[in-house]
Amino acid sequence: MPAPLSLKPVLFAATVPFLAAQMLFPAAVNAHHGKDFLLATTAHLPKAGEVFVISRQDYIDEDEGSEWELEPSLLFGVTDWFTFELHSHIEKENGSSFVYEATAPELSFRFTPRASAFSLGASIEYEFARKSEDDDEIAASLISGYEKDGRIFAFNITYERETGSSEDEWGYAGGARFEVAPGSSLGLEVEGSFEEDKTGEVLLGYYADLSDKLSLNIGVGRGFNNGADVTARTAIIWNF
């Protein structure tokens, strides 16, 4: 019989960053970075020369046990239409220590004018596995979004394939968020697979533009079709 699900790590991961940030920083409108959601992305990319540091933390509880995933990254606006991101994957499973798993460079492009509320873009990523016996991974996304009057929408078509496999994995991610107070938004996100298992996740999110340099995204989710029992996801986005 599986052990009862503990919500303490979820509540900790979801509330502590929010409470601390609300006490330390006033609300403000943040710059574009494309990280407006936790499961989906938008093509509202940084301007040329802008640099962002992003700290992503995920807690995932499944039947097999719990897992923490950390994803620190650097995001550079190369031009007004093109960004370069470098991030790492660090994981901790079932009470073990944190282990560095992979590093991935990612390129993102915007195809529509920056002044347009509608955005269309794409991204491509290559993940280098730390262990030689593990496969590298290729990922790509077609990205669409809409942003106007405090409302942001996103929809992505995703593709993944391990270098040692001939199987392609297609999926989707989407989100909608609405400003409920200056610098604060609530939203709903979903991601899933087009493959046979149809595994996915639905997430309720809170998004705060804490200053013109700092944003915070917090979400609590639950899987469907044999997805995770519960997830807690946070992202801290700093423009410097």
Q: How many domains does the chain have?
A: 1
Residues in the chain: 240
Residue 140 has pLDDT above 50, yes or no: yes
The dihedral through the CA atoms of 220, 10, 63, 57 has a sign that is: positive
Residues 56 and 75 sit within 8 Å (Cβ to Cβ): no
Average pLDDT over residues 29-53: 88
What is the predicted pLDDT for the residue at 197? 81
Is 186 inside a domain boundary?
yes
What is the predicted pLDDT for the residue at 187? 98
What is the predicted pLDDT for the residue at 182? 93
Is 2 inside a domain boundary?
no
Residue 19 has pLDDT above 60, yes or no: no
Is 121 inside a domain boundary?
yes
Residue 8 has pLDDT above 90, yes or no: no
Average pLDDT over residues 57-78: 93
What is the predicted pLDDT for the residue at 25? 45
Residue 128 has pLDDT above 90, yes or no: yes
* pLDDT tens per residue across span 165-217: 888 999 999 999 999 999 999 999 999 999 888 899 999 999 999 998 999 99
For residue 59, the cross-strand partners are 68, 232
Residues 190 and 167 sit within 8 Å (Cβ to Cβ): no
Q: Within a 10 A sphere around the Cβ of 13, how many other Cβ atoms?
A: 20
pLDDT confidence bin for 31, thresholds 50/70/90: low
Is 106 inside a domain boundary?
yes
What's the mean per-residue pLDDT of the chain?
88
The CA-based angle 35-22-228, given to 5 degrees, is: 50
Residue 4 has pLDDT above 60, yes or no: no
Is 1 inside a domain boundary?
no
Question: 29 or 118: whose pLDDT is higher?
Answer: 118
Question: 29 or 166: whose pLDDT is higher?
Answer: 166
Residue 63 has pLDDT above 90, yes or no: no
Query: CATH code at 19?
Result: 2.40.160.40
- Which amino acid is it at 92? K
Residue 101 has pLDDT above 80, yes or no: yes
Range of the domain at 185: 8-239
Is 42 inside a domain boundary?
yes
Alpha carbon of 87 to those of 84, 96, 233: distances in Å? Answer: 10, 22, 17
What is the predicted pLDDT for the residue at 33? 84
Q: Within a 10 A sphere around the Cβ of 31, how many other Cβ atoms?
A: 16
The percentage of residues in the chain with a pLDDT greater than 70, rounded to a whole number, is 87
Is 3 inside a domain boundary?
no
Question: 11 or 131: whose pLDDT is higher?
Answer: 131
